[in-house]
Amino acid sequence: MEIPFDIGNISGPENARVAQPEALGRAIKNAKRPLLVVGSEILDDDLIEKAIAIGKKGIPIAATAHSMKGFVDRGYTENVHLTGLHELANNIESRDWMGFDKTGGYDLIAVLGGIYYSTSQFLIALKNFATDPIVRCISIDRYYHPAARMSSVNISRKHTDEFKKMLDKVIENI
Amino acid sequence: MPPSNIEIEALKNVVINIGGIEEEEEEWETMGPTPMPGIADLRNWDYKLLKRYKPFYAPYCEMCCFCTFGKCDLTGGKKGACGLGMAAQQARFVTIACLMGCSAHTAHGRHLLRKVLKIVGDREINMGTGINIEAPLTRLITGIKPEKLSDFIPVLEYLEEQIAQLLDSTHTGQEGSNLDYESKAYHAGMLDSLGKEVADLIQIVAFDLPKGDPDAPLVEIGMGCVDESKPVILVIGHNVVPSVAVMDYMSDHGLDERIEVAGICCTAIDTTRYSQKAKIVGSIGRQLRFVRSGVADVIMVDEQCIRADILEQAKRIHAPLIATNDKALYGLVDRTNDSVDDIVAILASGKEPGVVILDPVKAGEVAVRVVQITHEKRKELVNILTDEEFKEYVTMCQNCDANCIVACPQGLPIGEANKAAAKGDTAPLASLFDPCVGCGRCEQVCKKHIPIVDVILKASLPYVKSEKGMIRVGRGPVRDTEIRKVGAPLVLGTIPGIIAIVGCGNYPNGTKDVYRIAKEFAERKYIVVLTGCGAMDAALYRDKDGKTLYEKYPGDFDGGCVLNIGSCVSNAHIHGAAIKVAAIYARRNIRGNYAEIADYILNRVGACGVAWGAMSQKAASIASGVNRIGIPVVIGPHGWKYRRAYLGRKYVDEDWVVYDARDGSKVQIEPAPEHMLVAADTYQEAIPLIARLCFRPTDNSMGRQVKLTHYMDLSMKYLGVYPDDWHIFVRGEADLPLARKEEYLRILKEEHGWDVDLEAKKILSGPVRKMDVGFDATNLEELIKKNK
Ligand code: SF4
Ligand code: SF4
Ligand code: SF4
């Protein structure tokens, strides 16, 4: 069993299933309306390139914190939408929100590159309150996120190359 | 319902019954509808807020273990054995947190009053020539106009009764609605604001602290400002009375120049408001590190935000501990009734590692006498790691990343940094000093028993020694005379907002963020007010000319100024400033008139709180109190752990309808302010968000131009794009900043589909509403003129 990246972050009896990158990629692929939510940490270690690769597969990107600046700097803003994480969670939970493209909500949320503890709270909010219709959340981050439905494992910063390889496998399977 | 011993007749004289002595207050203002409101009296206002700013929950714990029916698993819509659901449990938890916070401030006020009535007697409340409205929150909430310190007794009785009523509501089998728990959390927040005002006014009056002085003196701040060659008394906490006694004893005995008094947290701020001989080490995040540095020869604590293991930490550096407040006794022997000579002998000999002294004057004398002895004894001690020890520890580190990093609330890469230090590069370790919040969780789990806090401290010593800033001492309230000057520009929007940086030091990435936020808004001529840890941390940095914010910007309550208002309890003066805008500029009656004034502030006063490092339950109650009075708050990412936010949904039109009080017509408005309580992850995200939350429906065109300019510029500067919602704040071409008018009109036409005549520079259709100079926005039916 994996431990949460912040060890005390055990909120209840249900914790995320650890999943292989292939399964995480397929979950994104099989979703009807997936959304990739990225945070400020994609500006480290060139992770933004992986986010752009996912965006190029047609997956819309919610750019939280100041990650938008990274996309602008790289000239990729095609399907990237500026938002705050709190605001986004509140919108996802709302039946009135029609998504960034104004055609409807999302059925799968994948998180990458957010601050661990705020992303964890984001996931736990959706787990408990984005239930009608249900929204599934997965983590493709370097952290195990127990509040997601499926999650990657903790991969330490000294193994960033491994983490990037893991992301490549996720991307291959989308 | 008013408490039973206080009888209030609306519109007549107030009769206050204190211990059998009946005093008649003169009629000074017509009494409003809700003097001393009970739990349900402001529910209508709360529900207005909660309809627009819906509570959003992110449970930190999905279970409840409050009673023996439990533990109950509340996930997936399940209810507990008592019938309580997840939303109500989250709201109940928030209510309890707010109650802890408001109890801390209220009990602080009660303690202060008891002590100062003994020390200085019952003084008249005279706030000087610039301040007539001496206690805006007390007048607003209780209907009382205090004239002397003992007039706060019925105010404290009201507070204590309401706290008991609210705490009762959190018992199993009481409230079942999350919205009503939110209303109760708001109530606790409002009580908190009142408790803070009482506490701060008592200390201002009793100890003659600055009364709204824009030129309050500057004092040194930082871990490097303490002169270690002198005996050092470290004071920690929030209740200044024992520290005042220290300063008095030193002054009476000619020891001012021979002993250093250094403080951490709000006691530090308040001690420097009393005497500029004291120095400020810094905010809560520096506590463990400064104690470990071994500089303190005596540690004296009062209440709140003290490490629970302070005795163990004090023993580690062989510094005696003096506990001065019955809320934090640490298992020490109570020696309040022993002679000073005996206590000094016990502490100097080390027979006991610390003592309790509940008489502040005695505690002050003991601290000053003991420190002169312990300083001599401690001279030979080496508390910071030697070079050899440091090298040994960093070399022992296996960079396992298994233990310390998952224990660290900041997720700091300690192992990597140790590894670099082992190879001779200490820069990565030193770079952890500021983002580290000084909690000590890491070193408890390291299998190699590396004292990680000490290792980081050692690597950071050059920085620590040079950490010297300047802070203007807490000036206290905003003067009525200042409000007269800024009332109109604030309400019209030409001063684009009041940015209130408050709260603790649990920052996502170190102290510099608050400096950056304050600087950005001061440069843009917002009014920047700071209190508590935020005020201290913003003082640590200098610009290229070597000036700190407090040296560079004036301390007036005006656009482009930076004000240290004071400690956490001084937060009340930020509410006070907003209330005074309603009272002085708009001539609204404030007495017992909470909902009307909150409605006024919500619709007209562009203020935004920023609790970037919010950590404590006090910060929870502070934010709830600020929100109830109509001011939004931005919190840092750790703030998600408070479980609840208040978020607006700008695309739900019905949430953004207000009345025009002139005729009762309903007006669709722009989402201003859009949220009440919202987190941002980084300062770059927070800055444009703060600017967005300063829009108000009543901005005039000039004001809206100014606010739009900053919102657009800041979004471009920090996020690289214009915000996607700026157009909804445009009511007509006159709202557009002149310098960019053509560009913006084109964007409105091309990207938002508005009907714009580019040649004539006219907007033909598109905005939510037109600008209306006489618009009298209100959310309250009772304020519609024909209903009055
Ligand atoms: S208070 Fe209610 S939800 Fe909590 S443990 Fe008791 S029965 Fe369960
Ligand atoms: S003391 Fe600093 S490095 Fe250690 S766990 Fe706390 S924040 Fe992290
Ligand atoms: S737990 Fe100890 S040994 Fe492991 S990385 Fe942290 S400091 Fe090094």
The predicted-structure confidence for B684-742, as pLDDT tens digits, reads as follows 999 999 999 999 999 999 999 999 999 999 999 999 999 999 999 999 999 999 999 99
Is the ipTM value over 0.95, yes or no? yes
Report the pLDDT value the prediction gives residue B17, as an integer from 0 to 100: 45
CB contact under 8 A, A12 and B508: no
The predicted-structure confidence for B391-418, as pLDDT tens digits, reads as follows 999 999 999 877 899 999 999 999 999 9
Residues B177 and B249 in one domain: no
Peptide bond into B788 cis (omega under 30): no
The predicted-structure confidence for B453-472, as pLDDT tens digits, reads as follows 999 999 999 998 999 999 99
Report the pLDDT value the prediction gives residue B25, as an integer from 0 to 100: 52
DSSP B570-631: GGHHHHHHHHHIIIIIS----TT-HHHHHHHHHHH--EEEEETT--SHHHHHHHHHHHHTT-
**Which domain does B374 fall in, by range?**
223-379
pLDDT range class, residue B254, cuts 50, 70, 90: very high
Report the pLDDT value the prediction gives residue B267, as an integer from 0 to 100: 93
B111 assigned to a ligand binding site = no
Report DSSP state, residue B538. Answer: G
The predicted-structure confidence for A125-140, as pLDDT tens digits, reads as follows 999 999 989 999 999 9
Q: How far apart are CA B505 and CA B507, in angstroms?
A: 5
Report the pLDDT value the prediction gives residue B285, as an integer from 0 to 100: 85
For residue B442 and ligand 2, the question of a CB distance below 6 A is answered with yes
Q: How far apart are CA B554 and CA B564, in angstroms?
A: 11
Within-domain flag for B784: no
Within-domain flag for A2: no
For residue B398 and ligand 3, the question of a CB distance below 6 A is answered with yes
Within-domain flag for B571: yes
Residue with CA at minimum distance from ligand 1 atom 3: B80
Report the pLDDT value the prediction gives residue A173, as an integer from 0 to 100: 98
Residues B581 and B444 in one domain: no
Nearest to B611 by CA among B505, B709, B767, B753: B505
* For residues B344-362, average pLDDT: 97
The predicted-structure confidence for B46-59, as pLDDT tens digits, reads as follows 999 999 999 999 99
pLDDT range class, residue B23, cuts 50, 70, 90: very low
Give A-chain residues touching B413 at CB under 8 angstroms: 157
* For residues B215-225, average pLDDT: 96
A4 near B406, Cβ under 8 Å? yes
For B748, the token pair is 């409105």
Report the pLDDT value the prediction gives residue B15, as an integer from 0 to 100: 44
Residues B553 and B405 in one domain: no
CB-based burial, B104-125: b 16+ in 10 Å, e otherwise: bbbbbbbbbbebbbeeeeeeeb
Q: How far apart are CA A30 and CA B266, in angstroms?
A: 54
Q: How far apart are CA B610 and CA B691, in angstroms?
A: 11
Residues B396 and B343 in one domain: no
CA distances from B700 to B559, B598, B670, B736 (A): 17, 20, 14, 12
CA distances from B708 to A145, B290, B423, B699 (A): 39, 44, 51, 11
Is residue B21's pLDDT more than 80?
Answer: no
- For residue B404, the ligand closest to its alpha carbon is 3
Min Cα–Cα distance to chain B from A147, Å: 10
For B606, the token pair is 């562009």
**Which domain does A39 fall in, by range?**
25-172
pLDDT range class, residue B787, cuts 50, 70, 90: confident
Give A-chain residues touching B689 at CB under 8 angstroms: 84
Last residue of a domain, one of B319, B352, B379: B379
* For residues B651-680, average pLDDT: 97
Residues B374 and B391 in one domain: no
Within-domain flag for A110: yes
Is residue B241's pLDDT more than 70?
Answer: yes
Residue with CA at minimum distance from ligand 2 atom 3: B436
CB contact under 8 A, A117 and B57: no
Cβ burial, residue B759 (10 Å; 0-12/13-18/19+)? exposed
B627 near B45, Cβ under 8 Å? no
Of chain B residues 389-448, which have a CB less than 8 A from chain A? 399, 401, 405-407, 409, 411, 413, 415-416
Compare all CA atoms of chain B with the CA of A98 and give the residue at the minimum distance: B651
B559 near B489, Cβ under 8 Å? yes
* For residues B584-610, average pLDDT: 98
Measure CB to CB from residue B399 to each of A69, A121, A158 and give the nearest one. A158
Compare all CA atoms of chain B with the CA of A94 and give the residue at the minimum distance: B649
Min Cα–Cα distance to chain B from A46, Å: 18
Which residues of chain A fall short of a pLDDT of 70? 1
Min Cα–Cα distance to chain B from A106, Å: 17
B526 near B501, Cβ under 8 Å? no
pLDDT range class, residue B26, cuts 50, 70, 90: low
CA distances from A52 to A104, A122, A152, A174 (A): 23, 22, 19, 13
Separation of CA B237 from chain center = 15
pLDDT range class, residue B7, cuts 50, 70, 90: very low
Residues B254 and B132 in one domain: no
B67 assigned to a ligand binding site = yes
Residues B60 and B198 in one domain: yes
Within-domain flag for A15: no
Whichever domain contains A158, its CATH number is: 3.40.50.1220
Of B385, B390, B393, B404, which is best to mutate to test ligand 3, by the most ligand atoms within 8 angstroms of its C-beta? B404
Residues B644 and B532 in one domain: yes
Report the pLDDT value the prediction gives residue B20, as an integer from 0 to 100: 41
CB contact under 8 A, B638 and A117: yes
- For residue B71, the ligand closest to its alpha carbon is 1
Is residue B12's pLDDT more than 70?
Answer: no
Min Cα–Cα distance to chain A from B404, Å: 10
Q: Nearest 5 degrees, angle CA A150-CA A152-CA A153? A: 125
Give B-chain residues touching A64 at CB under 8 angstroms: 681, 685
For residue B457 and ligand 2, the question of a CB distance below 6 A is answered with no
Mean per-residue pLDDT over chain B, rounded: 94
Phi-psi region of A45 (alpha: psi -120 to 50; beta: other; left: phi over 0): left
Within-domain flag for A8: no
Report the pLDDT value the prediction gives residue B383, as an integer from 0 to 100: 84
Whichever domain contains B371, its CATH number is: 3.40.50.2030
Is residue B271's pLDDT more than 90?
Answer: yes
Nearest to B56 by CA among B703, B612, B645, B764: B645
Q: How far apart are CA B788 and CA B432, in angstroms?
A: 60
Within-domain flag for B747: no
Within-domain flag for B590: yes
Report the pLDDT value the prediction gives residue B380, as an integer from 0 to 100: 85
The total number of structural domains in chain B stands at 4
Within-domain flag for B489: yes
CA distances from B257 to B50, B251, B276, B368 (A): 55, 9, 12, 13
The predicted-structure confidence for B63-85, as pLDDT tens digits, reads as follows 999 999 999 999 989 999 999 99
Last residue of a domain, one of B379, B407, B437: B379
Whichever domain contains B195, its CATH number is: 1.20.1270
For A61, the token pair is 């990107």
Is residue B14's pLDDT more than 80?
Answer: no
Residues B305 and B361 in one domain: yes
CB contact under 8 A, A12 and B75: yes
CA distances from B322 to A51, A103, A105, B360, B445 (A): 55, 65, 59, 10, 30
Last residue of a domain, one of B654, B673, B705: B705
Give B-chain residues touching A69 at CB under 8 angstroms: 684, 718-720
Within-domain flag for B498: yes
Q: How far apart are CA B122 and CA B544, in angstroms?
A: 48
* For residues B482-503, average pLDDT: 95
The total number of structural domains in chain A stands at 1
Portion of chain B with pLDDT greater than 70, in percent: 97
Of B408, B454, B506, which is best to mutate to test ligand 2, by the most ligand atoms within 8 angstroms of its C-beta? B408
Residues B372 and B519 in one domain: no
The predicted-structure confidence for B514-562, as pLDDT tens digits, reads as follows 999 999 999 999 999 999 999 999 999 999 999 999 999 999 999 999 9
Q: E strand or H helix at A118, and its extent?
A: helix A116-129
Residues B114 and B149 in one domain: yes
For B182, the token pair is 């939110």
SS (H, E, C) B451-491: CHHHHHHHHHHHHHHHCCEEEECCCCCCCHHHHHHHHHHHH
Residues B404 and B371 in one domain: no
Within-domain flag for B3: no
| B714 in A contact zone (CB under 8 Å) | no
Within-domain flag for A58: yes
Is residue B632's pLDDT more than 90?
Answer: yes
Q: How far apart are CA B350 and CA B319, in angstroms?
A: 9
Within-domain flag for B148: yes
CA distances from B211 to B207, B497, B501, B568, B716 (A): 11, 23, 20, 16, 40
For B183, the token pair is 């209303």
